[in-house]
Amino acid sequence: MKYKNPILLCDYSDPDAIRVGEDFYLTASSFNFVPGLPVLHSRDLIHWELINYAAKNIPLPGYERVQNAKGLWAPSIRFHEGFFYIFVATPDEGIFFTRASDPYGQWSELKCVWSGRGYEDPCPLWEKDENGRERLFLVHAYVKSRIGFNSKLGLIELDSSTFQAVSEDKIIFDGTKTQPTIEGPKFYKRNGFYYIFAPAGGVTNGWQTVLRSKKIDGDYEEEIVLAQGKARINGPHQGAWVDTSSGEDWFIHFQDAGIFGRITHLQPMRWVDDWPVMGSAVKLNDEKALLVVGEPVNKWKCPEVSGEKNRRGLTQINTDVQQGQGRNGNNPPVSDFQTSANVEKNAGIVATSEKSLWLTPCVCTKKIDSKKFTYEKEIDLMGSWQKNERKGILFLGNEYAALQIEKSGENDFALSYLESSGSEAGDAERSEKILWKKNFTCGKEKITLKMKFRSAKDGKSGLVRFFAKYGKLSFKSKPFSTSNAHWVGGRYGFF
């Protein structure tokens, strides 16, 4: 039986994954959205379920306000001596970790292990020295916009008990000439070699590089192991090596897919002469073959996994992430709606003086996980309202569109449709322009607002239309076209 890529048509940027026993766990960037650091579970590497978030908030000054494109970047997940660990960086504050004995349970609050601007994409490696003493190392990349350079990888040693740094930061690989923009390193050790899997060349048109050395701080040899070539899958970008209990090797990575964000692919992998080969190169190699740069595959034979192989069924490929009930069906569902600031979503009205929804914290959004969907939200007009308060639904990318209700008097409201304008890059404020507006008097208790999303033919952009009907009042918007989404994929929801 074969699976088809992507395994997740949903923005799980910078994925990292591990196997613990017969279970696989994955985490990904969550940037400024909270709860953050999603934790996903799978039994077959194909079907994934959202089971938890490792960061309920971002406990740093300023994150009570919207911080677009900042927050939690490129985490790594590891299991060590009974604990699950996630290490993650924020581009302006430093490197942090959280841990839990149960991935479905409570994760510890983020704790800083390295302070400073310009550090990203940390990944730990535990090992014992010749005296049996445990040591902990972190490999990481650099953010040029904060520190002035990139294309290099650094190494920091932490105390394995306190998790505080016991060394200075040391650059162990310079990819400026051969691996420009190298980032997202993942740290492994196998057959006496230290390995760093890392993408280079940029998100959209880059490739996968693997570094290896007999010494943890280098010198590192380098090989490009996966590149787009003639395949339709661009990138391919940052990811993780995962093995199965049956002895197979696999590589999970993301692809930049426009409005769908950074979607997740699975590539076959094997080892040749202590180097990994991936994708199409797997079927071209035998144990004595030379290394071949692979291309991403669209389809491949499903992983051979032990235990409940068909637990979720492999006949239909997962294109969305279901809300998890927990291992025993007793845990509450995990909501996949997130806010863009540390806001209690059920605490009632959150006062804000922001002029547009771009910087308003009380916006709850969900990732796109389908090429076609309809979203509806029912609004109670008789509930608790303040004058000039507005409620509605929106679709958010680099720009956004919204259909909203605003209270103007005791029983008077206005239904309006707006679109933003601003900047296609960076965090600049967006302004709003109302394109249609009608005043009405409340006659029925509730009104339903609706949007429909359809993927465009290019597979990387979409069209959104908004609808409302309330008595004789009706509205249907023109298509709102959107093709980019400020790193995180398009999102939709309510405010």
Look over the chain and give the mean of its residue pLDDT values, rounded to a whole number: 90
The domain in which residue 489 lies consists of: 343-494
Q: Which residue has the higher pLDDT, 394 or 343?
A: 394
Asked whether residue 349 is domain-assigned, the answer is yes
Q: What is the pLDDT of residue 190?
A: 98
- Check pLDDT > 50 for residue 484: yes
Residues 166 and 31 in one domain: yes
- Interatomic CA distance for residues 253 and 262, integer angstroms: 9
Mean pLDDT of 174-195: 98
Last residue within a domain, chosen from 262, 295, 323:
323
pLDDT for residue 321 is more than 50: no
Domain annotation covers residue 332 = no
**Predicted pLDDT of residue 483:** 84
Share of the chain above pLDDT 70, in %: 90
Whether residues 398 and 430 share a domain: the answer is yes
C-alpha torsion sign, points 52, 57, 60, 63: positive
What's the rounded mean pLDDT across residues 264-292? 85
Amino acid 309: pLDDT: 43
| Cα–Cα distance for residue pair 200/214, rounded to 1 Å | 22
In the sheet with 221-227, reading across from the earlier edge strand, the strands are 186-190, 193-200, 207-213, 221-227
Which range has the worst mean pLDDT, 184-193, 236-245, 345-354, 401-410? 345-354
In terms of domains, do 296 and 365 share one? no
Residue 242: pLDDT above 80? Answer: yes
Q: Are residues 306 and 371 in the same domain?
A: no
Sign of CA dihedral 489, 492, 494, 495: positive
Residue 223 CB-density burial (10 A; 0-12 exposed, 13-18 middle, 19+ buried): middle
Residue 328 domain-assigned (yes or no): no
Two tokens at 243?
A: 């093995």
Note the pLDDT of residue 343.
78
At residue 70 the predicted structure's pLDDT band, cuts being 50, 70 and 90, is very high
Does some domain include residue 281?
yes
Q: Give the rounded distance of the alpha carbon of 141 from its chain centre.
A: 18
Q: What is the mean pLDDT of residues 24-52?
A: 97
- Give the separation between CA 49 and CA 65, rounded to whole angstroms: 30
| pLDDT at 310 exceeding the cut of 90 | no
Residue 362 pLDDT grade (very low, low, confident, very high; cuts 50, 70, 90):
confident
Q: What's the structural domain count of the chain?
A: 2
Q: What is the pLDDT of residues 364-409, one digit of tens each?
A: 999 999 999 999 999 999 888 988 999 999 999 989 999 999 999 8
Over residues 197-207, the mean pLDDT reads 96
Q: Which pLDDT score is estimated for 486?
A: 75
Distance CA 410, CA 486 (A): 39
271 with 208, same domain: the answer is yes
205 belongs to a structural domain: yes
The DSSP letter of residue 185 is -
Domain-located, residue 330: no
Look at residue 279 and give its three-state secondary structure: helix
Give the separation between CA 332 and CA 312, rounded to whole angstroms.
20
Is 306 in the same domain as 355?
A: no
Distance, in Å, from the CA atom of 417 to the CA atom of 438, rounded to the nearest integer, reads 9
Q: Which of 11, 99, 111, 5 is nearest to 492 (CA)?
A: 11
pLDDT digits (tens, 9 = 90+) for 107-138: 999 999 999 999 999 999 999 999 999 999 99
Mean pLDDT calculated for residue range 254-271: 96
CB–CB of 19/242 below 8 Å? yes
* Shared-domain flag, residues 238 and 163: yes
Listed range (230-239, 305-314, 393-402) with the worst mean pLDDT = 305-314
- For residue 162, being part of any structural domain is answered with yes
pLDDT category of residue 488 using cuts at 50, 70 and 90: confident
| For residue 320, pLDDT beyond 60 | no
Is 397 in the same domain as 316?
A: no
pLDDT grade for 96, boundaries at 50, 70 and 90: very high
| Alpha carbon 441 to chain centroid, angstroms | 43
pLDDT at 336: 85
Which residues are part of the catalytic machinery?
A: 14, 183
pLDDT tens-digit series, residues 419-475: 998 765 556 778 899 999 999 998 888 999 999 999 998 889 999 999 999 999 999
